[in-house]
Amino acid sequence: MDSATSDARTPLGASADNGLKIVVVGGFGVGKTTLVRSVSEIRPLNTEETMTKAGEAFDDISEVRGKSATTVAFDFGRVTLDARNVLYLFGAPGQERFWFLWDRLFSGTLGAVVLVDTRRIGDSWYAIDRLEHHGTPFIVACNDFGGPTYAPQQIREALDLDPHIPLLDCDARSRASAKQVLITLVEHVKSVYGATGPARPEVPAPHQELAL
């Protein structure tokens, strides 16, 4: 598997002048930090803290027993699309007690990825609701936790997704898979903003050669 947690740092190109903000959201423990870490071309900024027994009173860890750390603010990474365009990735915290941060993170966001664990599909409803409230284009990516397999239509019905919203499978640990998620999002954002007119940041044409 093409997993990546390299410590290599890639300098930002001097010609890069179009920064595009992307937010990765979803329920607690769905792989948001992992996705940002696997695809970022720089060492990601993580605000992870060790989980304690005291936190169990607030966070449902029944489905994530192996999780030892959790994001308490946001994750940050960077991906160069081409000489001019750069994606800035923000991973939102998943616990309900940190949801108050989401509206601030959504400010100025071009688009979002909603990560879903199909074993806990209901945990993603709030993320979708907030994105729809803000009018932020988004796609849904089902992270592979080895759980039960559902047909795409079943997932769409469970999440009440509009037909035009892209839905795909991914493995957040894989750089190649995370890269495809971002390509799908850029394609979707371009189609949405192209249909609704100007007054949005310039969105580059999607391609398969993200500079990773």
pLDDT attached to residue 209: 53
> And the tokens for 6?
């390299």
174: left (phi over 0), alpha (psi -120 to 50) or beta: beta
Q: How far apart are CA 182 and CA 188, in angstroms?
A: 10
Q: What is the pLDDT of residue 100?
A: 65
| Residues 199-209: tens digit of each pLDDT | 555 666 665 45
Judge whether 88 and 19 are in contact, CB under 8 Å.
Answer: yes
Per residue in 27-70, pLDDT (tens digit) is 888 899 999 999 999 887 765 544 445 445 444 555 544 444 44
pLDDT score for 60: 53
Tokens encoding 151: 């047909």
Please, are residues 19 and 89 in contact by the beta-carbon 8 Å criterion?
no
Greater pLDDT, 182 or 211: 182
pTM: 0.76
pLDDT band of residue 22 (cuts 50, 70, 90) is very high
Confidence of residue 97 (pLDDT cuts 50, 70, 90): low
Least confident of 10-14, 61-65, 92-96: 61-65
Mean pLDDT of the chain: 78
DSSP 62-123: TT-TT--EEESS-EEEEEE-SSSEEEEEEEPP-SGGGGGGHHHHHTT--EEEEEE-GGGGGG
CB 200 within 8 A of CB 190: no
Q: What pLDDT, in 10s, does the model give residues 101-123?
A: 767 777 788 999 999 999 889 88
